[in-house]
């Protein structure tokens, strides 16, 4: 008597793992690529999607936090010109985080940024 075939699974997907729909992936992408407004739209329209909400909350925290930091660097940079030079690497980090978050959301992966993910799950 032959053994039954093993259950079929997609490569890279653990059995029982939640796979977000294409719609959820798209809304996760929107949350990352349209700063603040995109996250708020996703949070209002996709309340039932844990995946889209998780990405939207993280994107919102990242975008607001880094925008406030940019603002303070520009204000203090009026007095100390050298601080304006620090803003360019910060701007590149902001762009890289947004693009990486968008890529991870669109590929259906749960991006957990260490401190930000904890904050995102609390609210």
One digit per residue, pLDDT tens: the chain, 123 residues?
555 555 544 444 434 467 888 999 999 999 999 989 999 999 999 989 889 999 999 999 999 999 999 898 888 877 777 777 888 888 999 999 999 999 999 999 988 888 888 888 887
Q: What is the pLDDT of residue 119?
A: 86
Residue 31 CB neighbour total at 10 angstroms = 32
Q: What is the pLDDT of residue 7?
A: 52
Q: What is the pLDDT of residue 3?
A: 57
Q: What is the pLDDT of residue 122?
A: 84
pLDDT digits (tens, 9 = 90+) for 16-44: 467 888 999 999 999 999 989 999 999 99
26 burial type by CB count under 10 A (0-12 exposed, 13-18 middle, 19+ buried)? middle
Q: What is the pLDDT of residue 16?
A: 47
pTM: 0.78
Q: What is the pLDDT of residue 37?
A: 94
Residue 85 CB neighbour total at 10 angstroms = 10
**C-alpha dihedral sign at 10, 14, 18, 20:** negative
The stretches of the chain forming alpha helices (DSSP H) are 22-33, 37-45, 50-77, 82-106, 114-122
């Amino acid at each position: 008597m032959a053994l039954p075939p093993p259950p079929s699974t997609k490569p890279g997907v653990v059995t029982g793992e939640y796979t977000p729909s294409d719609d959820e992936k798209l809304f996760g992408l929107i949350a990352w690529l349209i700063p603040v407004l995109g996250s708020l739209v996703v949070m209002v329209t996709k309340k039932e999607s844990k995946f889209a909400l998780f990405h939207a909350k993280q994107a919102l925290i990242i975008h607001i936090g880094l925008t406030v930091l940019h603002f303070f660097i520009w204000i203090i940079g009026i007095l100390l010109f050298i601080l304006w030079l620090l803003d360019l690497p910060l701007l590149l980090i902001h762009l890289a985080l947004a693009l990486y978050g968008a890529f991870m959301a669109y590929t259906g992966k749960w991006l957990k940024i260490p401190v930000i993910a904890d904050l995102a799950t609390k609210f």
